[in-house]
C-alpha cells in the first residue's frame, strides 16, 4: 500500500471509530477525538469530569468498537497493587505438585479503564506507573509485558475530594492527555434523553483490530514536522517554566512547576495524529495549538498565588501560546526583518 | 531530492512580491528621511541661488532610490517565503514542511506524499498578491516635510541673517535709519522713542547735601557724606543716582586707612602667609621629607620681606648658608627662628593697633610714644627665641601666654580703648566714653557698625582666634550695637 493509501486508510479508520463511539456518546466530539488521538499516539488519557457525563460509557463504547481486550478497575481506597497487577498464587498440577503461578491482574488487557483513579491510595496508583510507562509489570522479580496495544483510560471526579488521593505529579505525567469532560449543551442533553430513555438498542460494531492500532501508531511517527513548528512546541513548553529566562510574566507569577519534556513529546505526537486524522501529511501550528491544553494542563503546577487567584490553567496556557507566537520571529512579516 | 517545480515557482513568486513590497516600504522611508535635508536646502534657497530647488529635488530622488535599492537588496529566505505562502493560502504549513523535509536525507516515506500533496494544492492556487503592504511609521509624518518643501519651493527665498554684526554706534544707527527710507510713518515715529529708551545710562553729577542734624564734624567734600544722604527714601527712584551713590560708598569702604584694620590684622598677616608656606614644605608622598627647593624659595621670600624693616634677615641668611651646605635641619631651625621673629613683630604691631578706628593710624605715633613711655615693647623690637609680646605687659616668657590668664590680667587685651555709652546711638559719633570719648567719629556710626560686626564674625570663624576671646569680642560689638 502506498503512503497515500495508508493515510487514507487511517483517516477512514479514525472516522469509523469515532462514528461508532458517537452512536452511544452524544456530543463530546472533541473529547472523543482526543481520546482517539491519545490512543493512536500510544499514550494514556485521563478523563476528568463530574459524575454522569459519560466518561465511563465513552471508554466502554470505545473498547467495544475495537477488537481488543478490555478490563475495568473500580478504584477504591482498599484496592491493593496486587489486585491490579496480579500476584503469584499456589496451584496444584495434575500430579498434585504445588507451585507458584502468576495470576494476571486486570491490568493485563489492551484497554484498561481505571475508574475513579483518585479513590485508590497512592500505593495502588503507583502500581500503574511501570505499566503505563514501560508497558510491562514486574512481579516477584519477573518482568511481564503487557499486551500491545496497551491503553489506560482513567477517570476522576474533580469536585468530590473527600476520601480521595489526588494523583501525584509523577503519575499525572504518565498520561499523554488530560481531558476535561464538560456538561453537554441543551441540544446534546435532549439527544441524550431521547437516546437513553427509549427502548431503542444501539449496537456498536468492532471496526478496528489491535494490529491495526499498532500499525497506525507506526505510521503516526512518520509524519514530518517542520522546524518552526517544532520550535513553537518547545517554546510553549519552555514558557511554562517560571525559571526560564524568557518566561512570560504570567508564568513567573502563577506557575510553580512547568511541563516536563514528556509534555513536548505529547504535543508533537498528538499533533501528528491530529494532522493525519485530517488527511494531512504534516503537522501544522494549528495542530499544536489544539493540543496545548490537553497535553500540558496536568503538567503545569500552579503556585499558591495561582491557586488563590483561581487561575485556570487552560486560560493560562492560552495566554502563553499567544505570547510565544508573538515572540517568535515567524510571526513577523519577513520583509521587514 | 524531492523538489517540485510548482513549489519553486510559488516561492519565487512570493519572494518577488516580498521584494516589491520591500522596495515600496524602504522607498517611503527613504523619501521621508531625504525630505528633511531637502527642507533645509529649501530654507537656504536664497543663499544657494538657482541651485536650491534642484538640489532639494535631487536629495529627495537620492533618498527614494537609496531606500528602494536597500529594499531590493534584502534577501528573502525560502523558508520565510514558504511560511508566508502557507499562511496566506491556508496551506497549514504544507509548503514549508515539504520544502524542509524534501531536502533532508532522513525524510520519511510520508514526505513524498506530502510534497505531492503540497504541489497539487499549489498548482490549484490562484495567482494573487499575498504579501500585504506594510506602511512604515515614517509615512504618517511624510506629509509634513513634503508640504513644507512645497511651500518653500513656491514661496520667495527666506531672508537669511547677515553675518555682519549690527552697528550700535549712534552714527551707525543714523546711517541705518537713513537707509530705511522706505519705512512707514508709524515706524518713523516710534523709532526715536525706542532709541531714547535704549540710551545708555548717564551718571548724573549730584550735590549731596548734608542731612539736617548732622554734626559739625561732617565737612564738605568728606567721602563719609555719602552715608548721610537719606534722600533715596523721599525721592522717586533714580537708578543712576543709586548706582553712583553705591559706587561711592564702595569706594569709601575701600579706603582701608579710614576703617579699623580688621582684615589686615587678622587675615592678611605676612607671618601667617609664610607660616602656611612653611607648613607646605612637608607635603608630598612622604610627610617627613622636606623639599630643599621649597625651603630655599621660602627663605628667599622671607629675606625679601625682611628688607622692609624685619629683624629676621640674619636668621634667613644663616638658613640659606646651611641649605647650600646641605644641612636641611639647620636651615629649618633658622627658618623657624625667623618665623618666630616675624610673628613677634606682627604681634607688636597688632597690640598697638587693635580695633581702633581709621584715624588712629594718624595718631599712631602719639600712641606709640605713650606705650613706649610705659616700657612696652616697641615696634620693630627684636625678640629672642621663645619670647613674645604680651599685650599690655611687654615681654613675656612665652610667645603669647595663656589666653584666659591674659584676659584676667587686663580688660584691654584686644585694644578696646573706649566704652560704649548706653542709649540710642543715632548720631555720627560713637558715643564713646573713656579714652576714646573725646575723639569724634567722622563715620556714620549706624552705617558702618553692621559691616564691622560682619567682618568680626568672619574673622572669628576664619581665623584662629582663641575661644576665650570670642565672648569678649562679641560683647564688645554687642555693646556698640545697643540702641
Whether B112 sits inside 8 A of A286 (CB atoms) is no
- Would the CB atoms of A224 and B80 count as touching at under 8 Å? no
Band of pLDDT at residue B287, cut at 50, 70 and 90: low
Residue-wise pLDDT for A257-316, tens only, equals: 999 999 999 999 999 999 999 989 999 999 999 999 999 999 999 988 888 888 899 999
Does an H or E element contain A176, and which? none
Distance (Å, whole) CA A163 – CA B314? 113
Q: Are B89 and B130 in contact (CB under 8 A)?
A: yes
Q: How far is A336 from chain B, CA to nearest CA, in Å? A: 7
Gap between the Cα atoms of B331 and B296, Å rounded: 9
Walk me through the domains of chain A, giving residue ranges and CATH numbers: 1-76+110-117+147-222 (3.40.50.300), 223-337 (1.10.8.80)
| Minimal C-alpha gap between B114 and chain A (Å) | 5
Q: Does B442 touch chain A (CB under 8 A)?
A: no
Interface mutation vs chain B, best among A5, A6, A268, A281, most B CBs within 10 Å: A281
CA distance to partner chain B, nearest, from residue A337 (Å): 9
* Pairwise pLDDT comparison (B7 vs B372), residue with the higher score: B7
Cell of B106: 532522513
User: Which of B251, B79, B103 shows the shortest CA–CA distance to A224?
Assistant: B103
Residues of chain B in contact with residue A283, where contact means CB-CB under 8 angstroms, are 93, 97
**Residue A223: closest C-alpha in chain B:** B110
Q: What is the pLDDT of residues B115-159, one digit of tens each?
A: 888 888 888 877 777 777 778 888 888 888 888 888 888 877 777
Q: Indicate yes or no: CB of A334 within 8 angstroms of CB of B112.
A: no
HEC profile for B366-398? HHHHHHHHCCCCCCCCCCCCCCEEECCCEEECC
Contact A283 B97 (CB under 8 A): yes
CB atoms within 10 A of CB B148: 16
A-chain CB neighbours of B71 within 8 Å are 335
B151: distance to nearest CA of chain A, Å?
A: 33
SS3 B238: coil
Domain definitions of chain B by residue range: 5-154, 223-254
- The cell numbers describing A34, all together, are 482526543
pLDDT score for B372: 40
Question: Which residue out of B67, B74, B82, B97 would a mutagenesis test of the A interface target, given it has the greatest number of A Cβ atoms within 10 Å?
Answer: B97
A286 touches chain B (CB under 8 A): yes
Q: Check A335 against B117: CB less than 8 A apart.
A: no
**CB–CB of B378/B372 below 8 Å?**
yes
Place of cell 522611508: B29
Q: Which of A8, A224, A229, A289 to mutate to probe the B interface, most B CBs <10 Å?
A: A224
A330 at interface of B, judged by CB pairs closer than 8 A: yes
CB < 8 Å to A281, chain B: 94, 110-111, 113-114, 117
Residue A44: pLDDT over 60 = yes
Residue B419, chain A, CB below 8 Å: the answer is no
pTM of the model: 0.57
Q: What angle do CA A58, A60, A63 make, to 5 degrees?
A: 110
Q: Which residues of B touch A274 (CB under 8 A)?
A: none
Chain B positions touching A224 (Cβ under 8 A) are 97, 100-101, 107-108, 110-111, 114
Mind giving me the DSSP string for B336-359? HHHHHHHHHHHHHHHHHHTT--TH
What cell numbers appear for A57 in the block?
460509557
Going by C-alpha positions, the residue among A223, A302, A312, A321 that lies closest to residue A268 is: A223
Q: Tens digit of pLDDT for each residue in A63-115?
A: 889 988 899 999 999 999 999 999 888 988 888 888 888 889 999 999 999 98
- Give the whole-angstrom CA distance, residue B71 versus residue A332: 17
Per-residue model confidence (pLDDT) at position A47: 92
Q: What local confidence, expressed as pLDDT, does residue B463 receive?
A: 75
DSSP category for residue A311: -
Tell me, yes or no, if A226 comes closer than 8 A to chain B by beta carbon. yes
Verify whether the Cβ–Cβ distance B100 to A283 is below 8 Å: no
Residues 231-250, chain A, touching B (beta carbon < 8 A): none
For the CA atoms of chain A, what is the radius of gyration? 21
State the ipTM, two decimals: 0.80
Residues 79-118 of A with CB under 8 A from B: none
Q: What is the pLDDT of residue A38?
A: 94
Note whether A132 and A22 are within 8 A (CB): no
For chain A, strand residue ranges (E) read 45-48, 66-67, 70-74, 86-92, 98-104, 111-115, 136-139, 142-145, 151-156, 177-180, 208-209, 255-257, 301-302
Q: Is the peptide bond before A126 cis (omega within 30 degrees of 0)?
A: no
pLDDT > 90 fraction of chain B, expressed in percent and rounded: 2
Question: Residue B18: is its pLDDT beyond 80?
Answer: yes
pLDDT(B379) > 60: no
**β-bridge mates for residue A142, sequence order:** A139
Q: What percent of chain A has pLDDT over 90?
A: 42
Whether residue A208 contacts residue A17, with contact meaning beta carbons closer than 8 Å, is answered with yes
User: Quick one: pLDDT at residue B344?
Assistant: 83
Three-point CA angle B321, B323, B325, nearest 5°: 70
How far is it, in rounded angstroms, from Cα B431 to Cα B472? 20
Residues of B in contact with A2 (CB under 8 A): 113
Cell numbers given for B404: 584666659
CB atoms A335 and B110 under 8 Å:
no
Contact at CB, B21 and A280, closer than 8 angstroms:
no
Residues of B numbered 91-130 whose beta carbons fall under 8 angstroms of chain A's beta carbons: which are they?
92-94, 96-98, 100-101, 107-114, 116-117
A156-165, A286-295, B190-199: which has the minimum mean pLDDT?
B190-199
CB contact under 8 A, B114 and A282: yes
Q: What confidence category does residue B396 fall into, taking pLDDT thresholds of 50, 70 and 90?
A: very low
Q: Looking at the complex, does the CB of residue A5 fall below 8 Å from at least one CB of chain B? A: no
Say if residues B350 and B361 touch (Cβ distance below 8 Å).
no
Interface contact B22-A335, CB threshold 8 A: yes
Cross-chain Cβ contact A284/B93 below 8 Å: yes
Contact check, Cβ <8 Å, B97/A330 = no
Least confident of B81-85, B440-444, B478-482: B440-444
> What is the predicted pLDDT for the residue at B305?
82
CA of A6, closest CA in chain B: separation in Å?
A: 9
- Per-residue model confidence (pLDDT) at position A328: 72
Closest CB from B21, B110, B117 relative to A335: B21
Most B CBs within 10 Å, among A224, A284, A335, to test the B interface? A335
What single string gives the DSSP state of each residue in B393-456? TEEESSSS--HHHHHHH-TTTT---EEEPSS---SSS--EEETTTT----S-HHHHHHHHHHHH
pLDDT at A276: 92
pLDDT tens-digit map of B301-323: 888 888 777 788 888 888 888 88
Cβ(A334)–Cβ(B80) below 8 Å = yes
- The shares of helix, strand and coil residues in chain A, as percent rounded to the nearest 5, are 50, 15, 35
**H or E element, residue B159:** none
Confidence of residue B200 (pLDDT cuts 50, 70, 90): very low
Question: CA-to-CA distance for B16 and B324, rounded, in angstroms?
Answer: 93
- Whether B134 and chain A come into contact, CB under 8 Å, resolves to yes
B7 to chain A, any CB pair closer than 8 A? The answer is no
Q: Which of B18, B113, B114 has its CB closest to that of A334?
A: B18
B266: confidence class by pLDDT, cuts 50, 70, 90? very low
A248-258 burial, b for 16+ CB within 10 Å, e for fewer?
bebbeebbeeb
DSSP conformation letters of A206-264? P-EEHHHHHHHHHHHTT--B-HHHHHHHHHHHHTT-TTSTT--HHHHHHEEE---HHHH
Task: Tell me how close the Cα of B4 comes to any Cα of chain A, in angstroms.
Answer: 16
Amino acid at each position: 500500500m502506498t503512503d497515500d493509501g495508508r493515510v487514507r486508510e487511517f483517516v477512514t479508520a479514525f472516522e469509523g471509530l469515532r462514528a461508532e463511539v458517537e452512536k452511544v456518546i452524544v456530543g463530546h466530539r472533541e473529547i472523543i477525538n482526543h481520546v482517539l488521538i491519545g490512543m493512536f499516539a500510544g499514550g494514556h488519557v485521563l478523563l476528568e469530569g463530574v459524575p454522569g457525563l459519560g466518561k465511563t460509557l465513552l471508554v466502554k463504547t470505545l473498547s467495544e468498537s475495537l477488537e481488543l481486550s478490555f478490563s475495568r478497575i473500580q478504584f477504591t481506597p482498599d484496592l491493593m497493587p496486587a489486585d491490579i497487577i496480579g500476584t503469584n498464587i499456589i496451584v496444584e498440577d495434575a500430579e498434585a505438585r504445588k507451585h507458584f503461578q502468576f495470576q494476571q491482574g486486570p491490568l493485563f488487557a489492551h484497554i484498561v479503564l481505571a475508574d475513579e483513579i483518585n479513590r485508590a491510595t497512592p500505593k495502588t496508583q503507583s502500581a500503574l506507573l511501570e505499566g503505563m510507562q514501560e508497558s510491562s509489570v514486574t512481579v516477584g522479580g519477573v518482568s511481564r509485558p503487557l499486551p500491545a496495544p496497551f491503553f489506560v483510560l482513567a477517570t476522576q471526579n474533580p469536585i468530590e475530594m473527600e476520601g480521595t488521593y489526588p494523583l501525584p505529579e509523577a503519575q499525572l505525567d504518565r498520561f499523554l492527555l488530560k481531558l476535561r469532560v464538560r456538561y453537554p449543551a441543551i441540544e446534546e442533553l435532549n439527544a441524550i434523553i431521547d437516546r437513553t430513555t427509549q427502548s431503542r438498542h444501539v449496537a456498536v460494531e468492532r471496526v478496528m483490530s489491535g494490529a491495526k492500532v499498532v500499525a497506525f501508531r507506526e505510521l503516526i511517527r512518520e509524519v514530518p514536522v517542520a522546524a518552526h513548528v517544532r520550535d513553537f512546541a518547545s517554546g510553549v513548553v519552555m514558557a511554562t517554566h517560571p525559571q526560564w529566562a524568557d518566561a512570560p510574566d504570567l508564568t513567573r507569577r502563577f506557575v510553580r512547576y512547568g511541563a516536563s519534556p514528556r509534555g513536548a513529546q505529547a504535543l508533537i505526537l498528538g499533533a501528528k495524529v491530529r494532522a493525519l486524522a485530517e488527511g494531512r501529511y504534516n503537522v501544522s501550528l494549528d495542530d499544536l495549538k489544539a493540543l496545548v491544553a490537553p497535553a500540558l494542563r496536568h503538567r503545569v503546577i500552579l503556585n499558591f498565588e495561582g491557586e488563590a487567584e483561581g487561575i485556570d490553567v487552560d486560560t493560562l496556557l492560552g495566554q502563553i501560546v499567544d505570547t510565544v507566537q508573538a515572540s517568535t520571529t515567524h510571526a513577523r512579516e519577513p520583509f521587514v526583518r | 531530492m524531492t523538489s517540485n517545480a510548482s513549489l519553486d515557482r510559488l516561492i519565487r513568486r512570493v519572494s518577488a512580491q516580498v521584494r516589491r513590497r520591500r522596495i515600496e516600504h524602504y522607498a517611503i522611508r527613504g523619501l521621508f528621511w531625504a525630505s528633511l535635508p531637502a527642507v533645509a536646502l529649501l530654507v537656504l534657497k536664497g543663499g544657494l541661488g538657482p541651485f536650491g530647488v534642484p538640489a532639494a529635488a535631487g536629495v529627495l530622488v537620492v533618498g527614494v532610490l537609496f531606500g528602494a535599492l536597500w529594499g531590493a537588496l534584502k534577501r528573502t529566505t525560502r523558508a520565510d517565503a514558504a511560511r508566508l505562502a502557507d499562511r496566506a493560502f491556508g496551506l497549514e504549513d504544507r509548503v514549508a514542511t515539504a520544502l524542509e523535509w524534501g531536502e533532508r536525507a532522513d525524510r520519511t516515506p510520508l514526505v513524498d506524499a506530502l510534497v505531492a500533496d503540497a504541489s497539487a494544492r499549489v498548482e490549484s492556487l490562484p495567482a494573487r498578491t499575498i504579501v500585504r503592504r506594510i506602511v512604515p511609521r515614517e509615512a504618517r509624518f511624510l506629509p509634513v516635510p513634503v508640504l513644507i518643501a512645497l511651500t518653500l519651493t513656491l514661496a520667495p527665498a527666506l531672508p537669511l541673517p547677515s553675518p555682519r554684526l549690527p552697528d550700535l554706534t549712534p552714527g551707525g544707527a543714523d546711517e541705518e535709519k537713513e537707509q530705511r527710507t522706505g519705512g512707514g510713518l508709524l515706524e518713523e515715529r516710534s523709532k526715536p522713542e525706542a532709541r531714547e529708551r535704549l540710551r545708555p545710562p548717564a551718571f548724573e553729577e549730584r550735590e549731596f547735601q548734608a542731612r539736617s542734624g548732622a554734626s559739625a564734624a561732617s565737612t564738605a567734600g568728606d567721602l563719609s557724606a555719602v552715608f548721610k544722604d537719606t534722600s533715596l527714601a523721599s525721592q522717586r527712584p533714580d537708578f543712576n543716582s543709586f548706582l553712583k551713590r553705591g559706587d561711592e560708598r564702595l569706594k569709601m569702604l575701600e579706603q582701608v586707612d579710614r576703617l579699623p584694620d580688621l582684615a589686615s590684622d587678622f587675615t592678611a598677616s605676612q607671618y601667617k602667609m609664610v607660616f602656611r608656606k612653611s607648613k607646605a614644605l612637608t607635603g608630598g608622598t612622604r610627610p617627613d621629607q622636606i623639599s630643599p627647593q621649597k625651603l630655599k624659595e621660602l627663605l628667599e621670600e622671607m629675606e625679601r620681606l625682611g628688607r622692609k624693616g624685619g629683624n629676621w634677615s640674619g636668621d634667613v641668611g644663616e638658613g640659606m648658608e646651611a641649605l647650600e651646605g646641605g644641612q636641611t635641619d639647620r636651615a629649618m631651625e633658622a627658618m623657624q627662628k625667623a618665623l618666630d621673629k616675624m610673628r613677634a613683630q606682627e604681634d607688636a604691631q597688632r597690640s598697638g593697633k587693635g580695633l581702633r578706628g581709621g584715624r588712629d593710624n594718624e595718631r599712631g605715633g602719639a600712641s606709640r610714644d605713650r606705650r613706649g613711655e610705659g616700657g612696652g615693647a616697641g615696634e620693630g623690637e627684636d625678640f629672642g627665641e621663645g619670647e613674645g609680646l604680651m599685650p599690655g605687659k611687654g615681654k613675656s616668657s612665652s610667645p603669647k601666654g595663656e589666653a584666659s590668664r591674659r584676659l584676667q590680667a587686663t580688660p584691654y587685651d584686644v585694644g578696646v580703648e573706649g566704652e560704649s555709652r548706653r542709649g540710642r546711638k543715632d548720631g555720627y559719633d560713637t558715643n564713646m566714653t573713656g579714652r576714646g570719648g573725646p575723639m569724634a567719629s567722622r563715620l556714620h556710626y549706624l552705617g558702618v557698625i553692621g559691616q564691622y560686626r560682619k567682618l568680626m564674625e568672619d574673622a572669628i570663624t576664619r581665623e584662629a582666634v582663641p575661644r576665650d576671646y570670642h565672648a569678649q569680642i562679641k560683647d564688645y560689638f554687642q555693646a556698640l550695637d545697643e540702641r
